[in-house]
Chains A and B, each alone.
Chain A
Amino acid sequence: GDSVTQMEGPVTLSEEAFLTINCTYTATGYPSLFWYVQYPGEGLQLLLKATKADDKGSNKGFEATYRKETTSFHLEKGSVQVSDSAVYFCALGSSNTGKLIFGQGTTLQVKP
């Protein structure tokens, strides 16, 4: 069945460092891909999404490109801030019902 694999955390970076969180997927058909973020004490929020191959999603300085050839959707940010500390979830929307299949989540801690 469909699945998502994320790099394990936690990831600890200094402020202004470059961030990459790897995400790969297995799916039949043509899924949409998402990154959700959960800040401490809050619910999940959509960070960005891409609905077809070669699409690039971007928001708040974060980017991810839908790579069908490598079945990947890696999250990147050029310069992280302390306020980016959160748990990041990669997910795919695999069917017409729209249910999401998530990776295990990656905890990011950014130190000043």
Chain B
Amino acid sequence: EAGVTQFPSHSVIEKGQTVTLRCDPISGHDNLYWYRRVMGKEIKFLLHFVKESKQDESGMPNNRFLAERTGGTYSTLKVQPAELEDSGVYFCASTPEGGRASEQYFGPGTRLTVT
């Protein structure tokens, strides 16, 4: 069974440009999470989908970030326009059940560098 995949693995863009990150969860996993790790600090929660609905988007830093999960399968995270502080590694995770004890399966991450 394929794991969580993310694309691209690495993206370098200039300040002011737009970037779209993609996450394909494990097939059948209704819960999808986005996280971000900036500059070797802690990994921070961004948002949580249950199927195509946003369950919790309390971690989204500002309105330059837009996440979608049309059809409840893959998800995209768009940053527009990108700023220098958006640089970091963006992780996606999925799980069949969203409870507090559930193991989340993580993708390898997308390293975003904004110059």
A-side interface residues toward B, CB under 8 Å? 4, 31-32, 34, 36, 41-46, 49, 51, 89, 91, 93-105
Whether B100 pairs with A31 at a CB distance below 8 angstroms is yes
B interface residues, how many (CB within 8 angstroms)? 31
B-side interface residues toward A, CB under 8 Å? 3-4, 31, 33, 35, 37, 40-45, 48, 55-56, 59, 91, 93, 95, 97-104, 106-109
Whether B108 pairs with A99 at a CB distance below 8 angstroms is no
Whether B98 pairs with A96 at a CB distance below 8 angstroms is yes
Cα–Cα, bound, A42→B109 (Å): 8
Question: Which residues of B lie under 8 Å from residue A100 when comparing CB positions?
Answer: 33, 35, 43, 45, 93, 104
The count of A-to-B residue pairs whose CB atoms sit within 8 angstroms is: 76
Question: Which residues of A lie under 8 Å from residue B106 when comparing CB positions?
Answer: 36, 43-45
Q: In the complex where A43-B4, A43-B109 touch, is A98 in contact with B104 (Cβ < 8 A)? A: yes
Nearest A-chain residue to B103, judged by Cβ: A46
Whether B109 pairs with A94 at a CB distance below 8 angstroms is no
Cα–Cα, bound, A26→B109 (Å): 27
Q: Which of B41, B97, B103 contacts A104 (CB 8 A)?
A: B41
B112 to chain A minimum Cβ distance, whole angstroms, is 16
Question: Which residues of B lie under 8 Å from residue A91 when comparing CB positions?
Answer: 43
Question: Which residues of A lie under 8 Å from residue B103 when comparing CB positions?
Answer: 34, 46, 49
Question: Which residues of B lie under 8 Å from residue A98 when comparing CB positions?
Answer: 31, 33, 48, 95, 97-102, 104
